[in-house]
Structure 1
Amino acid sequence: MAGYALIGALAGGVGALPLLVSLQGVKLALYVLANVLLIGVGLYLAGWFSWIVFIETVGRPVWRFLQPVLRRRLPIKRWRDTLVVGALWGWLPCGLVYTASLSALSSGGMGQGALIMLAFGLGTLPNLLLMGQAAGGAMQWMRKRFVRVLAGLAFIAFGIYRLVSVLLFSHMVL
């Protein structure tokens, strides 16, 4: 959660820079892009389109730089290592994280960006805990076509909802 909040604070801070604040159109474009990518993730999860995986290549250089630091902290032996590993784990190349980060970037501030990414982290936490507890059974369940299609449809619906919201109520959303 700390890693995601840090990423959100950084992205929100960049989005709040005076140059970007004055470019409301840029923020709107980033918001739209984030939701188009969210729809792309849904299409990928449902097995209908796989172009979205190219996004993960964007973060690979950063991950290669951070991975040795992470390896030195694993397995976790001290409390502070927990925080360092958590903060670094958020930088793992992941299309979902990048999509949520674009929303944080368009949020308008460090606090809002941190909250968006914290909400993202809290939303993914149950799945991560479930995977850790029941990795074998959950993985088999997640491989079922209908589960992937339902998950994909949920992502697609949320992305479309947010796009429609920004088109109808852009003064309230951003």
Structure 2
Amino acid sequence: MSIELSQLISAFLLGLLGGAHCLGMCGGIMAAISLHLPEQKKLPVLLSYNTGRITSYTLAGMLVGSLGWSIQQLGPAANQGLRWLAGILLILMACYIANWWKALTWLEKAGQHLWRYIQPLTKPFLPATNSKQGFCLGILWGWLPCGLIYSALTWSAASGNTLDGGLLMLGFGLGTLPTVLATGFFADTLKQFVAHHLTRTVAAIIMIGFGIWTIPGPHQALLMPNHENHAHHH
């Protein structure tokens, strides 16, 4: 396994910092789920929903990790191209979160085609009144078109490994958990903090750093002096 702890932490932070975007996409779903639930059932159903959602992310990560491995077999240029794409998408996502430039909306629109087939499958589980329904709903809602998820998936594909791709998306999913879970409980307070201009700007600057770090170049030798030696052992 070639994944490093720093990459898992980065994936977690990407999910955490992308919370502003998660509120827009998943906040409404979480509020709708918790609205119809008695207080004692809220936490189990919301947790099972999020477990389902993160399971979908992990499976998607394994899928793109395998795809990334296939692309990398085409040669070093293909691998570099994949890393460039992942880095650029992360930078675009940062611009999206900070409201600087909404270029990634086209990517979400492209994902709507797949979502049209998945959305009808969610109907039998609505309203989710128990953990089983919550989990099934989460599995399906995990495929909701989202630029942040697509950016993270491209990043996972660049790992070029099934297990690594899954682990990166698991880390990312866990990072989204605090924001999405809290939405079900104290939506307004959280929304004000996450939607705040300063919060979004700081998150965007850190994400741009991730993007630059992902793009191949001489800066990587400075950031990860042992990475090359580490890679040769695999």
TM-score normalized with structure 1 length: 0.86
Q: CA deviation at 1:15?
A: 2.1
Indicate the residue corresponding to 1:52 in structure 2: 104
Residues 69-84 of structure 1 aligned to structure 2 (within 5 Å): 69-77=121-129, 79-84=131-136
* 1:40 paired to 2:40: no
Deviation by residue 1:73-94 (Cα, 9 ceiling, x = unmatched): 2223555444432222221110
- Determine helix, strand or coil for the equivalent of 1:16: helix
CA RMSD of aligned residues (A): 2.4
Indicate the residue corresponding to 2:59 in structure 1: 6
Task: Give the 3 Å change call, closer, same or farther, for CA 122–99 of structure 1 in structure 2.
Answer: same
Task: Give the 3 Å change call, closer, same or farther, for CA 167–127 of structure 1 in structure 2.
Answer: same
Does the 8 Å CA contact 1:32/1:163 hold for their aligned counterparts? yes
Task: Give the 3 Å change call, closer, same or farther, for CA 137–78 of structure 1 in structure 2.
Answer: closer
Does the 8 Å CA contact 1:21/1:108 hold for their aligned counterparts? no
- Determine helix, strand or coil for the equivalent of 2:215: helix
Percent identical pairs in the alignment equals: 34
5+ residue gaps in structure 1? none
* Amino acid of the structure 2 residue aligned with 1:3: S
- Determine helix, strand or coil for the equivalent of 2:167: helix
Residues 84-163 of structure 1 aligned to structure 2 (within 5 Å): 84-163=136-215
Q: How many residues align?
A: 173
Distance 1:101 1:159 in 2: 13
Distance 1:165 1:77 in 2: 51
Distance 2:72 2:139 in 1: 26
Distance 1:111 1:64 in 2: 29
* 1:67 paired to 2:119: yes
Task: Give the 3 Å change call, closer, same or farther, for CA 81–27 of structure 1 in structure 2.
Answer: farther
Task: Give the 3 Å change call, closer, same or farther, for CA 45–79 of structure 1 in structure 2.
Answer: closer
Structure with max Cα Rg: 2
- Determine helix, strand or coil for the equivalent of 2:94: helix
Task: Give the 3 Å change call, closer, same or farther, for CA 143–82 of structure 1 in structure 2.
Answer: closer
Q: CA deviation at 1:167?
A: 5.5
Does the 8 Å CA contact 2:213/2:219 hold for their aligned counterparts? no
* Amino acid of the structure 2 residue aligned with 1:54: W
Distance 2:75 2:123 in 1: 40
Distance 1:61 1:72 in 2: 21
Indicate the residue corresponding to 1:22 in structure 2: 74
Distance 1:101 1:37 in 2: 10
Task: Give the 3 Å change call, closer, same or farther, for CA 8–166 of structure 1 in structure 2.
Answer: farther
Q: CA deviation at 1:165?
A: 6.8
* Amino acid of the structure 2 residue aligned with 1:12: G
* Amino acid of the structure 2 residue aligned with 1:70: T
